[in-house]
Chain A
Amino acid sequence: MRLLTHNMLSSNIKGVTNGFPLRIEAVKVEEKTVEMNTDFLKNMFVKIDWKVLVEASRTLGYAELPEEGDSSFLESDEFLSRFHHALLELHLEEGALICPETGRRFPVTKGIPNMLLHEDEV
């Protein structure tokens, strides 16, 4: 699971109002190199919750993102490559996503989060 996905996922339990962001419990992290798409990064920048991405990448052991994100940074190749790395190259392979409101754990196995709910949570 990439941090792009983490930035897009919320706890879907019935009744939960503040299901975002899910807290990350990292057991195994992998890095996979992918081609950079500058247009995509520039487009996504406004949609990304920056603080959540900074915190999540730190949890996965990457602390190279600036605390504050500003669209003027998108002119910098250095910034783009860090943003790209945090968003698309870091993978949570094993671990869990924790609902910030209820503490419910959604397991991540082989890089795949399982968001299925129990009957009493739907």
Chain B
Amino acid sequence: MASHKQLPRTAQIRLVSSHEEVYEPCDDSFALVDALLADRTNLLEHRPKLCMEIGCGSGYVITSLALTLGQEGCVSNYIATDINPHAVKVTSETLKAHGVDAELIVTDIASGLEKRLAGLVDVMVVNPPYVPTPEDEVGAEGITSSWAGGENGRTVIDRILPAADHLLSEKGWLYMVTLTANNPSEICLQMRNKGYASKIIIQRSTEEESLHVIKFWRDFDTEVDDTADQSASGFISYLLAQIPLFSSWRGSNSNN
């Protein structure tokens, strides 16, 4: 029937490639894709021209994003990076199995792209290595790099956030998975200081962990660079709020 609505397409697990050194789609990957589906109507209206995933692992997330947007005729370009060469290879197989395309680069976060890709990414998705671990496990070879997050699981996240801020376009959105141990509210505050509003799209508790998928977007009204600016803008808004008072005071004064 013409009115029949198709279910959104996501990557099929049986078509997701694998390798012993690559993180398989798990609760966190599913939560991220569910968040993208939950926000699908907004994403389609957003019409992103360039989407990027940092840390693509098995390719489950970027493939699902490409399928979901592509299904509704949204023609976008996709770029995905991972520090683990096996992961990038597996992602390329997963993409191919689903008949979708992405540009793939083996690199640390977005190293090599900072200069020329700045301000061009409309949608970024990140399922970072968020598990609290000893610092020396961070960025280790193979599958360890997919989860080892250092102190509070924040070492890699805290490197990804400035890179995301740098690469996102004016209308850019970031979707990121965090764990309660990562202190998500502090992450949101940190991003707020860079001018981003945030919203929890999905909150999910499993036996081992409590996951949040947070969406960040530039909100020019909340932009505050540092405490000095904050107090300055606070002072200005205080002044603006006084204007009617001033004018009526001046008005009455001139009548005298």
Q: Which residues in A have some Cβ–Cβ distance to B below 8 Å?
A: 1-2, 4-5, 7-12, 19-20, 32, 34-35, 37, 39-40, 43-44, 47, 49, 88, 110-117
Query: Could you list 20 examples of A-B contacts with CB < 8 Å?
Result: A7-B116, A8-B117, A8-B120, A9-B116, A10-B116, A12-B107, A12-B114, A37-B76, A40-B75, A40-B76, A40-B77, A43-B49, A88-B77, A110-B92, A113-B105, A115-B105, A115-B107, A115-B108, A116-B108, A117-B111
B36 to chain A, nearest CB (A): 20
In the assembly, what is the distance between CA of A1 and CA of B105, in Å? Answer: 8
B112 at the interface (CB under 8 A from A): yes
In the assembly, what is the distance between CA of A35 and CA of B77, in Å? Answer: 11
Q: Are B75 and A10 in contact (CB under 8 A)?
A: no
Q: How many interface residues does chain B have, given as a range?
A: 20 to 34
Q: Are B92 and A112 in contact (CB under 8 A)?
A: yes
Q: Are A37 and B115 in contact (CB under 8 A)?
A: no
Q: Are B77 and A114 in contact (CB under 8 A)?
A: no
Tell which of A1, A2, A8, A12 touches B111, judged by Cβ atoms closer than 8 Å.
Answer: A12
Tell which of A4, A10, A112 touches B112, judged by Cβ atoms closer than 8 Å.
Answer: A10
Q: Which residues in B have some Cβ–Cβ distance to A below 8 Å?
A: 49-50, 75-77, 79, 83, 85, 88-89, 92, 101, 103-108, 111-117, 120
Q: Are B89 and A115 in contact (CB under 8 A)?
A: no
Q: Are B105 and A5 in contact (CB under 8 A)?
A: yes
B101 to chain A, nearest CB (A): 7
B204 to chain A, nearest CB (A): 32
Tell which of A20, A43, A116 touches B83, judged by Cβ atoms closer than 8 Å.
Answer: A116
B-side interface mostly: mixed
- Inside 8 A of B112's CB, which chain A residues have their CB? 9-12, 19, 115
Q: Are A111 and B92 in contact (CB under 8 A)?
A: yes
Known: A10-B115, A115-B112. 7 other contacts (CB 8 A): A1-B103, A4-B103, A8-B117, A12-B114, A20-B116, A110-B92, A112-B85
Q: Closest A-chain residue to B79, C-beta based? A: A5
Tell which of A4, A9, A117 touches B77, judged by Cβ atoms closer than 8 Å.
Answer: A4
In the assembly, what is the distance between CA of A20 and CA of B115, in Å? Answer: 9
Q: Closest B-chain residue to A38, C-beta based? A: B75
In the assembly, what is the distance between CA of A67 and CA of B112, in Å? Answer: 26
Q: Closest A-chain residue to B115, C-beta based? A: A10
Tell which of B101, B106, B114, B115 touches A34, judged by Cβ atoms closer than 8 Å.
Answer: B101
B99 to chain A, nearest CB (A): 12
In the assembly, what is the distance between CA of A62 and CA of B198, in Å? Answer: 45
- Inside 8 A of A19's CB, which chain B residues have their CB? 112, 115
Q: Are B105 and A9 in contact (CB under 8 A)?
A: yes
Q: Are A37 and B92 in contact (CB under 8 A)?
A: no
Q: Are A112 and B88 in contact (CB under 8 A)?
A: yes
In the assembly, what is the distance between CA of A47 and CA of B104, in Å? Answer: 20
In the assembly, what is the distance between CA of A4 and CA of B104, in Å? Answer: 12
A7 to chain B, nearest CB (A): 7
Q: Are B106 and A112 in contact (CB under 8 A)?
A: yes
- Inside 8 A of A44's CB, which chain B residues have their CB? 49
Q: Are B106 and A115 in contact (CB under 8 A)?
A: yes
In the assembly, what is the distance between CA of A110 and CA of B106, in Å? Answer: 12
- Inside 8 A of A11's CB, which chain B residues have their CB? 112
Tell which of B49, B75, B88, B116 touches A8, judged by Cβ atoms closer than 8 Å.
Answer: B116
